[in-house]
Amino acid sequence: MLSIESIVKGFGDQTLFEDAGLQINPGERVGLVGRNGHGKTTLLNMIAGIDHPDDGKIIYPAGYRLGILPQKILFSKNTVRDEAMTGLPPHERDHYWKAEKILAGLGFSVDDLDRDPHQFSGGFQVRLNLSKVLVSEPDLLILDEPTNYLDITSIRWITQFLTAWPREVLLVTHDRGFMDHVVTHIAGIHRRKIRKIAGTTAKYYDQVAQDEEVYEKTRLNEEKRRKEVETFITRFRAKARLASMVQSRIKTLEKQQAKEKLDELKNLTFSFNYLPFAGKQLLRAEKLTFGYTPDQPLINDFSLTVQPEDRIGIIGQNGKGKTTLVKLLTQRLDPVSGTVTYNPGVSSGYFEQTNVSSLNDNQTVEETLIDAHPDFERQAARNICGAMMFEKDAALKKISVLSGGEKSRVMLGKLLLSPLNLLLLDEPSNHLDIEACDAFIDALDAFEGAVILVTHNEMFLHTLANRLVVFKQGRVCVFEGTYQEFLDKDGWEESVFRTTDTANKSQGLSKKALRQKKSEIIADRSRVVGPIQKKITRIEDAIEACEIQIKTVNDALLTASENGDGEKIQTGSKELADLEARVEALFQELETENEKLESMNQPFENQLKELERQ
């Protein structure tokens, strides 16, 4: 259990938190949302002890262990398996099968387990860091953008893993669908406060919008009433016979604290500049073959025709050739064989996931946009800065001081300057917050040209894609249909999950080890759901006591009625109404607690069923 009480935190003249609080209760999986730059990373750093609040407290019980996904890559072992095992708790240092299970879920093959961690790409090194956190089984698991380097099958695996997690989770991610599948609660940083509600991101944002609407209506009504009172005071101040009324209203005004108008929070709203295209085909890729080594082609004899209305999602596991295909289509790579032909009149824009590092740290946002398109006027660049939420002096910020999300917005801004009819985007949403992702989807949906998109975000695929390029089982092919149609007709072979099951079985767990694991799960379940069960018992006892009292009062009312005792009838009726209202409230509370019990108990039931299958 984690408790944040009345924290204050600021940097320079910017206040991030003002008397903000948050409590994460046993078994809760909390998604942390908020705009980029509003304090999500700062809050995680304060919880981890890397930073500290200017005022207020962050409290957790003695012995409460935090598991935090580190951003720094630092390996000390010679194999992937041994490195992952460094995260195991001290009493489980030899439980290699736990490490293998996590690694399999995150996309490492059996052969990968004995390789040197330094031989892997940056994405897989981040996965290895993630595996060390997951095997440590902390009381609070803190994950900051864990899906950035995961493919769809790994995201599906970690979704199942976290849903079955018996302890607490604090999750930050731009992937709204992933968050909604995993969490039990949403905690939002909004106007320097933290607010937590049970439910999904949609429920949270709806509640915030509703509350702000109510606040504004209340403020306007109070302002109107205040002006009416001030008018009364001014008009009748000199009237002796109304002096007491005037003084009363003056005192009322002095006591009332006027509500301040809420600052307008600007949303990212933009649209791509469309260049009309009259042809039927934008580009043709014919019989493309490419490999970084001659005997292992990533892409073999692949053909694709792109039409103006296409929304093509490129999907598959990491390392299979998705980014390579986009580079072939943009002609940044030459194929071993085959051709890519653009029709006249095509104007394309390309967003590469690694392009953020190409920005010049010494330039300002405005200078970066002008430098990308020297023929555009300064005002045009300024307009794009505003659309990307770099208004006024923010456009003069150096690239070096920007967050990852802000740098991604600069890269998108560069695409907005030129008229385009073809967009090729490689994981463009990785560093955007949820609000920015929503705006980005809207902009792509409204774009009249064609879109080719590499993404592991299934919400993007469900919303946009009308065709797919699928990397699967060592092949690449075109699927003519939506992502939902792909899932219904073909789908993922879920090899990750089968690999995980194989890893579990190959470990050779003895019956004694299985019994021990079962005891651990039951003990964890008792620790998490025990307090709720006790509360449910107390509520049920209170309901029973109320029902006994209701019977007694009913008997007394019957006697009073027979005796014509009006006073006792009146008193008894009021007592009966109070008791019935109390019972109704208790039943509502009981229903809420039972729902909470069922929600918190389910992950443990899933784990016990998994053990039975072993």
| 506 pLDDT more than 70 | no
pLDDT of residue 301: 92
pLDDT in tens, 34-86: 887 788 889 999 998 889 999 999 998 888 999 988 767 888 999 999 999 99
Of 217-226, 490-499, 518-527, the poorest mean pLDDT is in: 490-499
pLDDT greater than 60 at residue 509 = no
Distance CA(209)–CA(562), nearest Å, equals: 56
Mean pLDDT check: name the lowest of 97-106, 485-494, 535-544.
Answer: 485-494
Helices (H), 172-287: 176-182, 201-236, 243-255
Q: Is the pLDDT of residue 501 over 70?
A: no
| pLDDT of 505 over the 80 cut | no
pLDDT of residue 356: 67
Element (H, E) at 499: helix 495-506
Tens-place pLDDT, residues 101-154: 889 888 888 889 999 998 887 778 888 988 998 898 899 999 988 887 778 888
Q: Poorest-confidence range of 54-68, 462-476, 498-512?
A: 498-512
Cβ neighbourhood burial of 96 (10 Å; 0-12, 13-18, 19+): middle
Please report the sign of the dihedral spanned by the C-alpha atoms of residue 70, residue 76, residue 77, residue 78: positive
| pLDDT > 70 in the chain, percent | 92
507 pLDDT band, cuts 50/70/90, is very low
pLDDT band at 225 (very low <50, low <70, confident <90, very high): confident
Burial of 34 (0-12, 13-18, 19+ CB in 10 A): buried
Query: What's the pTM?
Result: 0.66
Mean pLDDT over 435-450 rounds to 88
CA-based R_g, the chain, Å:
30
Segment 473-486, tens digit of pLDDT: 888 999 999 998 98
Q: What is the pLDDT of residues 324-342, one digit of tens each?
A: 999 999 999 999 999 999 9
Q: Is the pLDDT of residue 312 over 90?
A: yes
**Distance between CA atoms of 321 and 401, rounded to whole angstroms?**
33
Query: Is residue 496 predicted with pLDDT exceeding 60?
Result: no
Q: Averaged over 268-294, what is the pLDDT? A: 88
pLDDT at site 500:
38
Across residues 570-578, what is the average pLDDT? 86
